[in-house]
Structure 1
Amino acid sequence: MRYRSFRSSIRYKLSVFLMAAILLPIAASILISYFYTKHSLKEDAIRENSNTIRQGTTSLIGQLNGMNNVSLYVYNNIRMTNSLYNILVQGRSDFMIENNIYSGLHAIEQSAKDIQQVYLYSDLADQSWLLIDGYLKREPGGEGLTGHFEQPLDKNHPFLEPPHPSHNYGMEEFPYSPSNTVFTIHRPVYRAPLKERIGVLSVDFKLDGFRSIMNMLYDKDEENIYLLDDTGTAIYTSREEEIGTKPDYAWLRHARYSFAGAGYFDWSGDDGFNGIVVFEKFELIGRIWIVAKQIPDSYLYSNASSVLRINLLVLLTFLFIAIAAALFVSVMVTAPIKRLTESIRKIKLGKLQFDGLERSDEVGVLGSAIKNMVDTIDNLIMRELRLELANKDNQLKALQAQINPHFIFNTLQSIGSVALHHKVPRIYELTSSLGLMMRYNMNTDEPVVPLSKEIAHVQAYLELQQQRFKDRLRYSIEIAGDPDLSTSVPKMILQPLVENCFKHGFESAEQAVISISVADDSGMLGITVTDNGPGVTPERLQELQRQIARGNSGSTEGSSIGLINVISRLRLFYNDKSAVTIGHAKPRGFSVHLGIPLTEGAVHHESADRG
């Protein structure tokens, strides 16, 4: 409850307004700056990395072309009798050509620094030679190519063996076998111009050339880069354990199968990678290659995150200043207003005393005006309450004293005795009902009665009316559920309502129906009186509802004085906690519903207290 009242206070609203006025522009500026920075960083990263990948692709094309050209050295000096090409054409394998074989392979080995070893196989001589670091080894047969070489369909292109562990092509007696990873170009040698294969030249390249190019294209600590051939095999990658394998990443498949030759795309997948991918494809040596680079969001937006942290620190600083300023303003400006609201709250609880504020500003003038108003209201309320109590008590006594109850009651007892003596029980029943009504009305010292007595009184009244109207009248009193009939109510609240049914509801009705129902109604005791008469016009209904809302009984017409009198006494007794609803009954007629609190009213008639 205190939290709600604090939230509705001027101090709270003023504090919130001041903080919002300071923080919202700063927060908006921070968010706009953050998102703009992210967008700018992304655009710059895409542009710079696209240029870097393009330059790297150019270098890789040069590297691969250089490797391919090395494999074509076998066709050098084609007119010289002792060239590698002519030795293969002649199918020679004697020791006379050993030096020529060594010279040719050594020249190939020295043509590029990344070459690890050179292997030559002669189809016609069924002889193999292997040169490593200037050491030449020969063996019959070509088993060294088994599992490593496939004859390409296009005779203009070599067979490219993906990176694999280096081996000595089956020459077991070779002094040593390198264990590093190499990339091999197997060049089939054909007899010109018949395109008949006469041998195979295999050149093993270290991956240093790829490594030096690729290392310039990415950040080793944050990014990843891949060079793949058209089979999806990694020729080189920053994850060296994947070199020579076929990485099966969804983002990598997306880049490979993209129709674009170059570009980028955002990626957020289940593989744990969130960021952008920049790629470029190129065609060379009969294959389509792709260079793809991963740039994680955490790395891409690291600068933006740093800026955001700085801005947040600034925001927290301003937040502290704003809170301090808001509290200062709240205390200095709203403290007297809070005193005023606290005094008004006490006035609402019934303590009509106000000391005012010793201030000369606008708040002090307001406090003085409130003090004068409270004093005036206190005097008026006390006078009005006394007049209202006296007026209602006089109205009730006047209603009860319209006839001489003692004389009539004694007379009715005599009539009843005569009726029994002459054996006319119906007359006795009617006089008994009338006697009950008179006894009920005669007891002026009991203004508050249990609801059960009020129901018995109205039932006696209806029995008398039944005798008058015969078959034209039907009535019912229904007690729904288990309502508390011992609940105290002001006396004579039901009979005036039922009497109004006869006054206004049966002018033209052939069959009059009156129903009274009593039931529990959401913590209230509900009493409904309904008739099937002509009811009232909408205009008259609105007028009655306005009179009920005002609780004004001094200016009502005679046709509604009983209803307004009942409503006034209920409000006086229950301190405005009772409820009265009037309306049209269905399908026709008029309905009055009384809602009575299940606890006794807070205000009692002075006569009840004296009794």
Structure 2
Amino acid sequence: MKRFFLLLSEPFRRSIRNKLMLAMIMLAVLPVITVSALAAEKSRQSMEDEVIETNLSTIKWTGIYLGEQFSRLNSLIYSILLNEHLSENIMETENDSLSSQFTAQRNITDMFSSVLNSANTNVISAELYVRDSGKLFRFSSDGSEIRSPEEIPVPYKELFDEKQYFMIRNDPGKPGQFEFTRSVNRFENRQAVGGVTLGVRWTYLDQTLALLNTAPNQTVLLADKNGRILYKQGSVTPTLDAGNLINLPRDQPGYVHTRNAYIFYSSVDPSGLMLVKIIPANAINHSARSTMNYGFIVGSSSIVVAIIIAVYIAYRMSRPIVMLARSMQGLGPIVGDVEPVDIQLSGRIDEIGWLETHFVNMTGRIREHIKTEYNMKLEKKTAELKALQAQINPHFLQNTLQMVGSMIYDKKPKEVYKIIKSLSSMFRYVIREPEDMCSLRIEIGHLQHYMQIQKERYGSRLAYTLIADEELLECRIPKLTLQPIVENSFFHGLDTKLGDWRIDVEVRLESGEIVIRVRDNGVGISAVRLEEIRKELADRRGLQTKGSRIGLYNVVLRIRMHFGERYGIEVEQASGGGTVVTVRIPYVQEGRDEP
């Protein structure tokens, strides 16, 4: 068995194209088969629900109409019993006078003939049995008779013994007819004194039973309370016995689903009969078969199309891999420091296995090339950064030198020296500091020198505050982080603003991070421009500058390069006007490793 399985799977183990074709065919065919099967079952279920709902409604109304027909028969019997001369004529039949007997019999005959003529043509006979006298009066289209049977006739004896008011049973001697018998009771004590029987053809009910739309393979039954089948429509022999029919609920219409049939039932009031319709289970499947056949044709066509598409897609997708594998088979191992390998990492023997083998052989040398290239680019970027850090805004330098020249005439030498010292410290910080990282104390010192020059330049018009926790001053921060931000505040926010200027710098520890906020009361930033700045700061394009200045983009890049993507700069509008620039860096003290 194992050898047979290996032999069968060999074409798929050695070719990724065959694997992909098989996988694509399975992915394409299985959903189609599943959907087709579900659609067929859904169609059959819908047909079943429709048949059940339709037959429940139909058998309910058919039972109601049958009840109305039996009520009319009951009313016909009442019309006989309520005749005011019936009792007198029955008593006269006991008179010794032959003339009186003849007259009484003729009156009774005329009364029953009148009733039969006014009734439905399917009512073909009527009987009156008087218990006290033991006489039986029978009337039909064939004639009439009066006789005195030795025993109580069967329907009346069963009626009297079971103390029933009415009874429906088949006429034993006349197939196709039934007897509708009702007891005649004395008003005072409800004691049965006789009975009336109507002989009715079953065709009397056929028009109503036709509402059930009985198909050739279906059956309609009428059964009495004892489960005996009184009338049947349909050529199929029912599989129900008296026990099954007795156990059917009589309180409301319903149905029972057996393995072979659907049985719908409804009671017929006030006759006490049970109306039953039997539909074979295969009839519903046969009704849904045409729909299922169409679904099978569509599903089969879809499967064929899916297989063709799957094979085509698999072929197109695997073609580059197969071609690449064949090309790499001609490549020998790279000669050099990397040892060639002749194994498949995943144990595969197809084109992917070939690619793995040759890829491992090439990886070492490629890694060496990448490392060399990376070091070259890193050195280039470092040189560019150092050159950029060495630049000072020429406009700022020119203004500062002009301010120093004017101070020589107006200020004391001590004040002039103080400004020159600040400018010198700024140059020394930018040019002589070899490291890209420094303590926050040194960075703030550089910012203080810059602000001292600006305050001397703008005088009382410029207000500047710095708030920083002492314990945070030894934390590490990239050089030239704060001064470019403050410079942007002058250039973009305060330069065009009339009135007093204000810059506030605040350094705090929030949630384990150092947060530096630079706030100005300048002209602010429009919503459109603010959105552009935020998108540019979120970009990963690398080092960018604004002219010859070290811009926000450079600051963001260096913060992310040292601390990761979660840190950087946020720009927002300040409440009451102006701009707030927030710098977030981790809490890393001087001398400790970066996070």
Task: Please tell me the TM-score bracket, short chain as reference.
Answer: 0.3 to 0.5
Q: What is the TM-score normalised by the length of structure 2?
A: 0.47
Q: What is the TM-score normalised by the length of structure 1?
A: 0.46
Q: Relative CO higher for 1 or 2, CA cutoff 8 Å, sep ≥ 6? A: 2
